[in-house]
Amino acid sequence: MIVVLQNNCEPEKVDHLENWLENLGIKVHVFKGEFQTVFGLIGDTSGIDIGMLEGLDVVKSVKRISEPYKKANRQFHPEDSVITAGGVEIGGGEFHFIAGPCSIESEAQIIEIAKKVKAAGASFLRGGAYKPRTSPYDFQGLKDLGISLLVEAKRETGLPIVTEIMNANHLRYFEEVDIIQVGARNMQNFELLKELGHTNKTILLKRGLSSTIKELLMSAEYIMAGGNEDIILCERGIRTFETQTRNTLDISAIPVLREYTHLPIIIDPSHACGVARYVKPLALAAVAAGAHGVMIEVHNDPARALCDGAQSLTPEQFLDVKNTADKILAALR
């Protein structure tokens, strides 16, 4: 249930209403926007008399919410959320590029790529340290050593960093990480999501391989229910009957998510297609569709990459994508 308050209400009356609702055992999520204040009520609201609430002079309107996700619901939070990570705002008016290798392979490799993607205009450096691979015989990442190398690249370049977590027991290695990524395979690892809900880290939540948009938002709700509301959603392609690409990018997820949630949305065209030559058109489609950013895999030598070289761009190719995207963004403004 949401309760929209009248403009310019007396603070004492607002506080009194909030306290009264909480005494009924209802959790009150308060959103104070530029033009209105909204109470999002979480809990059993079946006993609340809507007519009585609407009769209060501080209340403008009352509406029951049918969706099971509450804190992630745009009706609870009508204005777009702006998440700050590493001093960079995501979800505002700027479009951001997250770039870097699928896997961190060495100190020299990650620092070289970091310098080149920063020069090309990236806002964040990504790099995999813990790698969830389909085959147990594939390269699994450098783990905590990889995070240490990623942190060193951050110090060298000043770029905030993004990397994936696999297990809540690894959280101690992520203290200097700016955005913790939850991969597609862990989108419904609810115990991990609960632990992340108790952190103060920005979480980049990827959509599962076969998950619906509703399921993605419910996973975000798990994190938000724990108190952490700094979440960025990521569409990275879903599994369909098509085999020409690694996955199928659900470009329609962008306008749908922007309608139903206030959380920022980025697109991962690299994993969506799995083919380097398709990354640019998909990234540009994401720009045009209204995403808040893209995450692109960039490698200094894709042919020799230890992981996902086929979908990785060279730094020069990444710069071309960035420059073309900037032209589209300028035309849309």
**Domain identity same for 193 and 236:** yes
Backbone angles phi, psi at 171, to 5 degrees: -55, -30
Is 225 in the same domain as 277? yes
Q: Give Cα 106 distance to the centre of its chain.
A: 27
Q: Do 42 and 108 fall into the same domain?
A: no
Flag whether pLDDT at 65 surpasses 90: no
Regarding whether 202 and 111 lie in a shared domain, the answer is yes
Per-residue pLDDT, averaged over 15-28, amounts to 92
For the cut 80, the answer to whether the pLDDT of residue 300 exceeds it is yes
Whether residues 166 and 201 share a domain: the answer is: yes
Q: Do residues 195 and 98 share a domain?
A: yes
Q: How many domains does the chain have?
A: 2
Q: CATH number of the domain that 182 lies in?
A: 3.20.20.70
Does the structure show a pLDDT above 80 at 34?
no
pLDDT number for residue 36: 83
Assess whether 39 and 163 both reside in one domain.
no
pLDDT, average across residues 297-319: 96
Q: Are residues 29 and 95 in the same domain?
A: no
The reply to whether 195 falls in a domain is yes
Is position 73 within any domain?
no
Do 139 and 20 belong together in one domain? Answer: no
CATH of the domain at 42: 3.30.70.1140
289 pLDDT band, cuts 50/70/90, is: very high
Q: Is residue 72 part of a domain?
A: no
pLDDT bin (cut points 50, 70, 90) of residue 259 is: very high
**Average of per-residue pLDDT across 320-327:** 98
State how far the Cα of 317 lies from the Cα of 114, in Å rounded to an integer.
15
d(CA 306, CA 231): 29
Average pLDDT, the chain: 95
- Percent of the chain at pLDDT > 90 equals 82
71 within a domain of the structure (yes/no) = no
Assess whether pLDDT exceeds 80 at residue 273.
Answer: yes
**Same domain, yes or no, for 122 and 21?**
no
Percentage of the residues of the chain whose pLDDT score is greater than 70? 100
232 and 323 housed in the same domain: yes
94 and 200 assigned to the same domain: yes
pLDDT > 90? residue 45: no
Q: Is residue 68 part of a domain?
A: no
Tokens 């020299």 belong to residue: 108
Highest mean pLDDT among 16-20, 139-143, 248-252: 248-252
- What residues make up the domain containing 208? 83-332
